[in-house]
A and B are shown apart, each in its own frame.
Chain A
Amino acid sequence: NAGVMQNPRHLVRRRGQEARLRCSPVKGHSHVYWYRQLPEEGLKFMVYLQKENIIDESGMPKERFSAEFPKEGPSILRIQQVVRGDSAAYFCASSLTLTGPQNIQYFGAGTRLSVL
Chain B
Amino acid sequence: QKEVEQDPGPLSVPEGAIVSLNCTYSNSAFQYFMWYRQYSRKGPELLMYTYSSGNKEDGRFTAQVDKSSKYISLFIRDSQPSDSATYLCAMSKSGANNLFFGTGTRLTVIP
Task: Spell out A's residues near B (CB within 8 Å).
Answer: 4, 6, 31, 33, 35, 40-45, 48, 55-56, 58-59, 91, 93, 98-99, 101, 103-110, 112
Contacts and interface: CB of A to CB of B under 8 A. Distances in A.
A77 to B, nearest CB: 15
Nearest to A112: B41
B6 A91 contact: no
A110 B95 contact: no
B44 to A, nearest CB: 5
B61 interface: no
B68 interface: no
Contacts of B90: 43
B46 A43 contact: no
Nearest to A31: B97
Interface of B: 4, 6, 8, 32, 34, 36, 41-46, 49, 51, 88, 90, 92, 94-95, 97-104
19 contacts: A31-B97, A33-B97, A33-B98, A35-B101, A42-B103, A42-B104, A43-B101, A48-B98, A55-B97, A58-B98, A59-B98, A91-B44, A93-B99, A98-B97, A101-B49, A104-B46, A105-B99, A106-B46, A112-B41
B104 A107 contact: no
Contacts of B98: 33, 45, 48, 56, 58-59
